Amino acid sequence: MTDRQQIPSPAPSLPRVAGLVVVDKPLGWTSHDVVSRLRRLAGTRKVGHAGTLDPAASGVLVVGVEKATKLLTYVTGTDKTYRASIRLGAATVTDDAEGDVTRAAAPERLAALTDDAVLAAVAELTGEIQQVPSAVSAIKVDGQRSYARVRKGEDVELPARPVTVHEFTVHGISREPSDAEPTAVDVDATVTCSSGTYIRALARDLGEALGVGGHLAALRRTRVGSFTLEQSHTLDELTEQVRAGGTVSTLAIDDAARGLFPVRELAAREATDLSHGRRIAAARVHPGGASQANGAASRSGVGAGDTESAGDAAAPGSKGPEGSRAGLPVACFAPDGTLVALAEDRGPADRRYTTSVLGIAAGMTFTDATASEESGAQAPGAGQDGTTRTERTRH
């Protein structure tokens, strides 16, 4: 890593934008290393990441800055996609290429291993399965990380837990150094899976199922929820942005929330009440699937109080490869587009109400510009084109 003194920080006069940064984590870096670099580049200590990516893996790491760190819990729970290289023929203590080999298959056993057998074993590891996490995972055992116990020489056995492998697609199978006398069989694959799935454990279990042992040779994460490599920035790119006098490329918290959650557009009064921790009326479900608390129009084209249903606006990867936002809180927006809170409906069926579960814009007052115009006053920020905007004041 570069010496800390050579890492630029943004000028004090520049705003610290709350949002998500999609980083293409390089090999050899821990997720915490990336967070430390972003703290420097973003000029704030309030930075966190949405799920650890091992030093031996590269690819998408979603980092939150300022208030957007509040969204990271929900990003962590989304599905992920990986490009993986699995080596059959040797099991290791860490289930990856960095660990010592504990068992190696004979060349004649590997020569007899057919592509059809590999594909059949892959099919058995697809869908809802029970997976035993790798012993070198960060799962705590009696208050201590499992990998720390393994490093001490302890034998750690973790219980199996349910995970879902939505996709396990094999792109190629090759034999090294030759088909006649292979010492290893390499499987190149794409895996899309639920949060908490260990790809190294998949590699281990594939080798076990085939009776030859196996481990993860290389891994690159290509997607976390709706965030992909195409949206990502390398650390060098982010560093140059700041060195050139700018700030790191950030997906604003409002835009990030619209991509992660179902959306409800609020009227100014609703936004004010929710911002101050008060309950508001629950959205009413319409036959078409959308829901609405009232019919006022907002600048987004969705009625104030409307909720885009999970089926109509699904976030790719949040549940299964096609994505779904069902069961998540709703992102509630004021008429001016400000993210007020994440909220959910509660109460009995005949007395449902909406309440905040995570405040974003707390203690704000939102004023509908059109209401001020009707009383004869020109609302600050009101447009000449008749669009509704809001005035905000903090108490």
Distances (CA, A) of 15 to 132, 135, 247, 390: 45, 44, 9, 22
Those residues whose C-beta lies under 8 Å from the C-beta of residue 236, and which sit 6 or more positions away, are: none
Active site residue 54: yes
Tokens 């510009």 found at: 369
Phi and psi at residue 224, in whole multiples of 5°?
-130, 110
Burial of 288 (0-12, 13-18, 19+ CB in 10 A): exposed
b or e along 142-178 (b: 16 or more beta carbons within 10 Å of the residue's beta carbon)?
Answer: eeeebbebbeeeeebebeeeebbbbebeeeebebeee
Cα–Cα dist 218/200, whole Å: 9
Angle between helices 235-243 and 31-42 (to 10 degrees): 10
Cα–Cα dist 393/385, whole Å: 23
b or e along 25-49 (b: 16 or more beta carbons within 10 Å of the residue's beta carbon)?
Answer: beeebebeebbbbbbbbbbbeebbb
Q: Which of 3, 24, 54, 205 is catalytic?
A: 54
CA 386 to chain centre: 38
Nearest to 264 by CA among 284, 249, 245, 250: 284
DSSP result, 296-312: -B-TTSSBTT-B--TTT
Tokens 């590699």 found at: 203
Q: Are 97 and 85 a contacting pair, CB within 8 Å?
A: no
The residues assigned a catalytic role are 54
